[in-house]
Amino acid sequence: MESFFSRYKNPLVLMAVLFIQVVGLATQVKRDDPHSGRGIRLIRIWSVSAITPVERAFVGTGHFFRNTWHNYIDLHDVRKQNRDLQAELDRMRLEQARLREDAEQGRRLQALLGFREKLILQSIVAQVIGSSGSEQSHIIQIDKGYRAGIKTDMAVITPDGIVGKVKEVFPLSSQVLMINDKDSGAGVILQRSRLQGIIKGTNKGELFVSDIMSDEKVEPGEQVITSGGDRIYPKGLPVGTVINAGVDHEAETFLAIKVKPSANLNRLEEVLVITKIEEQVPTVSQEGTRVRAADILAERLPTVPKKPEKPDDKTKPAGTTTVPGTPDQHKKTGASATNPNGARPPSGAGNAGVAPSPGPPTRAGVARGGVESPSAVGNATNKNQAAGTPKNPADSATKKTGASNSPGTADQAKNNDHSAQPRAAVPHDTANKGQAAGTTKNPADSGTKKPSTDTKKKPADGTAAGTPVVPKPKKPDQPKPSDTAPPDISEKPPR
Amino acid sequence: MTVAVSYTSREEIEVHKFSWAASLGIPLLALVIQTFVPLRLNFLAIFDLPLLVTIFFAVSRRRPVPGLITGALIGTVQDAFTGHQIGLNGISKTLIGYLAASLGVKVDVDNPGSRFLMTFVFYLAHQFIYAAIDVVLVGASQPWSWSHVLIGSVLNGLLAVVIFTFLDRLKLRA
C-alpha cells in the first residue's frame, strides 16, 4: 500500500486537490430546477444522487424478500382472509353508497353557498427510501422526482393522514419535509370545535397546534384536520388527535395543543404525493356519475320570470353556481339554504332561493337532502310529461326539452340518465323518503321500491301505469308560459 | 520559426527553486497586474499572467505536486477577483500546473522556442478546461471562439518568452 501511494503520489495529490476544488465549486453552483423554479446546489444534487440509489437498492432488496415471503410462504389463511375481505367489501360498498349520497348533498350545499373546495385530482405513489439521518431534521427521501412530475411544495400524505410537503426535487428522488419538523407548518382545524390553528413540529419531532386562544376549550381526543388555508394541503385531511392542551409557556394567551399524528411518521413506507389539486365551486353537473332524481325535479320546477334588467341569466347553464341563489337571497325568501333537493343550485336552488317556485316554498324548504331518488324521478317524469316530453322516466331524464324552464345542459342530460337508472335504496335515503317537494314512485324504480300508496295517478298526462301523481298546487301569481310545464308533481305531505 | 525541443534525462535537467519572496511576490504581482491593467487597457485582458506564472514555476521546479499546488493557489485567488464561482480557474490552473511540471521533468523548456510552444499549448488547454468546467459544472453557455483563443495563445506564447527571460533571474539552483 505504501508503495502504491509513493508510486502514484503525484496523480493522487492532483486528484485530491481537484476533488477539493470541485466540491468547493459544487457548493457554490446552484442548478436551476425548471420544475420548482428554484436553484438547488450542485453538491446537494450530487450527494442525493449518490446516496439514493444505494437506499433504493436497500429498500428494493428488502421488498423483494418480503414479497417473496408473502407470496410463496405466507399463503395460509388467505382463503379465510379473502372471505372476510369480501364481506368487508360488501359492507364498504353499502357504506360508500351512503357516503356518496352525503357527499352529493354536501356538494349541493357547498354550491349553494358558493363554497370553493379543493379536489385532489391526481396523486403519485412514492416509496420512502431514506431519511435525513438526523434527529433534528425530520426529512424523508422518496423515490420519485421531477421526472415523475413531483414539484416542490406538493402535499405528501398517507391514507392515515398528512405526512408533509415536498421540499427539494431531484430527477429521481425528492426530499419531503415532514410535518413534525421544526421548520414545518400547516393550517389545521380542530374538527369538533372548528378552531383554526397552525400545526408545527419541534426539534423532538412532536406536533403542536398553536395560535388558538387560551380561553378556548380543547378536549383530548379531538381530531385535527387540515384547514386548506395554507394552500398546500387540501382541506379535510386528517392530521392527528389531540393528546393534551395546556397554556403555551412562551405565549400565555395561546394554547399549546399537543397532537399525535394520524400517519405513523416513524414507519413510513409508501406515501402519496398530491400532484394536482383543483379548486372549484362544486356544481351538481360536476358530480358526473350520479345526479339524484330529486335534482331533476328541482330543475323542472318553474322559475320566477326573468327580470328584464338581467337578460343574461337565461343563458346561464344549469349546473353552474352563478345562479342567483345566494345565501342572502335564501334568507330573504325564506327558502332554507339547507334544502339541497328542493333547492337545487342551478335552477331549483336558485329559484327556491330567489323566489318561491310553484311548489310551495315551505315544502321546498322542508325538503331534506336525503330525498328518495326513485320517487323524485317519478316527479321528474311527470314534469316532463306535462311539458310534452316523453313519458318514459328514462327518456324524461335523458331528453331535456326546451320546454323545461331550467336551462338543461348536455351534462345534465347525461347525469339525468344516470339518475334514471334503478338504484338500490340506501338507508339514508329511505329515511328521508317522501320529504322532498313532491315525492312519488317511479316505475323505473319499482324494482327497488314499492309504489307509495298515498300517491295518486294523474290520468290527464298519460302517465305510465303505476306512476301515481298528485297535482301540485300552483301559486296563483306564478306565470305559466306556454312552453313551461305545469308543476304537476305528485307529492307526499311533509312529515 | 524553428522550435528546439531536446529530450534529456532527469539527471541532465536542472531543478530550480525560488526564494519565498519570489514565490509569493511574483504570483501576487501577476494577479495585481492582471486585475488592474485591463481596467485601463481592456484589450490586455487577453493576457493571462497568472497562467504564465503558474507555467513558469511549474516547469522550473519540475515537481508535479508543488506545480499543481501553485496552480491551485494562484487560480483560486484569481477566481476570487472574477466574481464567478471559485474553482473555475483553480481547477484549470491546477491541471495546467501539474501538466507543466510533468512536462518540465521530461523536456527541456528553457529554450525560447519550446517556451513559446509550451505556453501556446497550455493556454489552449487552459481555455478548454475552463470552458468545459463552466459548461458542465456551472451550466453556463460559454461561447467558444477559435480565432480568439488562437490569438490569445500566440500572444501569451510570445509574452511568455519575454517574461520567462526576466523571471529566470530569480531562479536559485536547487
- pLDDT tens-digit readout, A446-485: 434 444 444 444 444 433 333 444 444 444 444 444 444 4
Residue A218 pLDDT level (bands cut at 50, 70, 90): confident
Overall average pLDDT of the B17-44 stretch: 85
Asked if B80 and B53 touch (Cβ cutoff 8 Å), the reply is no
Poorest-confidence range of A30-34, A179-183, A440-444? A440-444
Contact B138 A32 (CB under 8 A): no
Which of helix, strand or coil describes residue A173? coil
Q: What is the pLDDT of residue A279?
A: 66
Contact B68 A17 (CB under 8 A): yes
Domain boundaries along the sequence of chain B: 14-173
Contact B139 A18 (CB under 8 A): no
Which of helix, strand or coil describes residue B143? coil
Asked if A18 and B95 touch (Cβ cutoff 8 Å), the reply is yes
d(CA A458, CA A467): 8
**Chain B CB contacts of A31 below 8 Å:** 139
Asked if A341 and A261 touch (Cβ cutoff 8 Å), the reply is no
Overall average pLDDT of the B16-27 stretch: 88
Residue A4 pLDDT level (bands cut at 50, 70, 90): confident
Q: What is the pLDDT of residue A1?
A: 60
Collect all residues with Cβ–Cβ distance below 8 Å to B168 and sequence separation of at least 6.
B110
DSSP A328: H
Which of A10, A17, A29 is nearest residue B85 as measured by Cβ atoms?
Answer: A29
Collect all residues with Cβ–Cβ distance below 8 Å to B166 and sequence separation of at least 6.
none
Asked if A19 and A27 touch (Cβ cutoff 8 Å), the reply is no
DSSP B136: I
d(CA A267, CA A278): 30
Overall average pLDDT of the A128-153 stretch: 83
Does the pLDDT value for residue A303 go beyond 60? no
Overall average pLDDT of the A61-73 stretch: 82
Does the pLDDT value for residue B167 go beyond 80? yes
Tens-digit pLDDT profile for residues A317-331: 443 333 333 334 443
Q: Which residue ranges form the domains of chain A, and what is each CATH number?
A: 86-115+283-495 (no CATH), 117-280 (2.40.10.340)
DSSP string, A187-250: EEEETTT--EEEEEE-TTS-EEEES-BTTS---TT-EEEE-STTSSSPTT-EEEEEEEEEE-SS
**Chain B CB contacts of A14 below 8 Å:** 64, 68, 94-95, 98
Q: What is the pLDDT of residue A36?
A: 63
Contact A24 B87 (CB under 8 A): yes
Is B69 an 8 Å CB contact of chain A?
Answer: yes
Q: Which residue of B has its CA nearest to A45?
A: B137
**Chain B CB contacts of A22 below 8 Å:** 87, 91, 137
Asked if B4 and B111 touch (Cβ cutoff 8 Å), the reply is yes
Collect all residues with Cβ–Cβ distance below 8 Å to A464 and sequence separation of at least 6.
A381, A391, A392, A393, A443
In chain A, the percentage of residues whose pLDDT exceeds 90 is: 12
Q: Which of A10, A13, A14, A40 to mutate to test the interface with B (most CBs of B within 10 A)?
A: A14
Q: Is the ipTM of this complex over 0.85?
A: no
Q: What is the pLDDT of residue A438?
A: 39
Query: Does the B14-173 domain belong in CATH 1.10.10?
Result: no
Q: What is the pLDDT of residue A260?
A: 93
Task: Name the region of B36 (left: φ>0; alpha: ψ -120 to 50; beta: rest).
Answer: alpha
Q: Which residue of B has its CA nearest to A29?
A: B138
Does the pLDDT value for residue B65 go beyond 60? yes
List, as ranges, residues 12-31 from A with C-beta within 8 Å of B.
13-14, 17-18, 21-22, 24-26, 28-29, 31
Cell matching residue B83: 466574481
Q: Which residue of B has its CA nearest to A14?
A: B68
DSSP A254: B
Which of helix, strand or coil describes residue A41? strand
Task: Name the region of A77 (left: φ>0; alpha: ψ -120 to 50; beta: rest).
Answer: left
Name the percent of chain B in helix, strand, coil, to the closest 5. Answer: 75, 5, 20
Tens-digit pLDDT profile for residues A340-395: 343 343 333 333 333 333 333 333 333 333 333 333 333 433 444 433 344 444 34
Asked if A201 and A184 touch (Cβ cutoff 8 Å), the reply is yes
The rounded mean pLDDT for chain A is 66
Q: Which residue of B has its CA nearest to A21?
A: B87
Contact A25 B137 (CB under 8 A): yes
In chain B, the percentage of residues whose pLDDT exceeds 90 is: 42
**Chain A CB contacts of B94 below 8 Å:** 14, 17-18, 21
Poorest-confidence range of A141-145, A320-324, B76-80? A320-324
Asked if A439 and A372 touch (Cβ cutoff 8 Å), the reply is yes
- From the CA of B1, how many Å to the nearest CA of chain A? 34
Q: Which of B129, B8, B120 is nearest to B62 (CA)?
A: B8
Query: Would strands A39-41 and A30-32 be described as parallel, antiparallel, or unpaired?
Result: antiparallel
Overall average pLDDT of the A179-203 stretch: 89
In chain B, the percentage of residues whose pLDDT exceeds 70 is: 89
Q: What is the pLDDT of residue A117?
A: 59
Residue with cell 539527471: B11
**Chain B CB contacts of A32 below 8 Å:** 139
Backbone angles phi, psi at A19, to 5 degrees: -60, -45
Is B66 an 8 Å CB contact of chain A?
Answer: no
DSSP B7: B
Distances (CA, A) of A162 to A145, A261, B26, B133: 19, 8, 63, 42
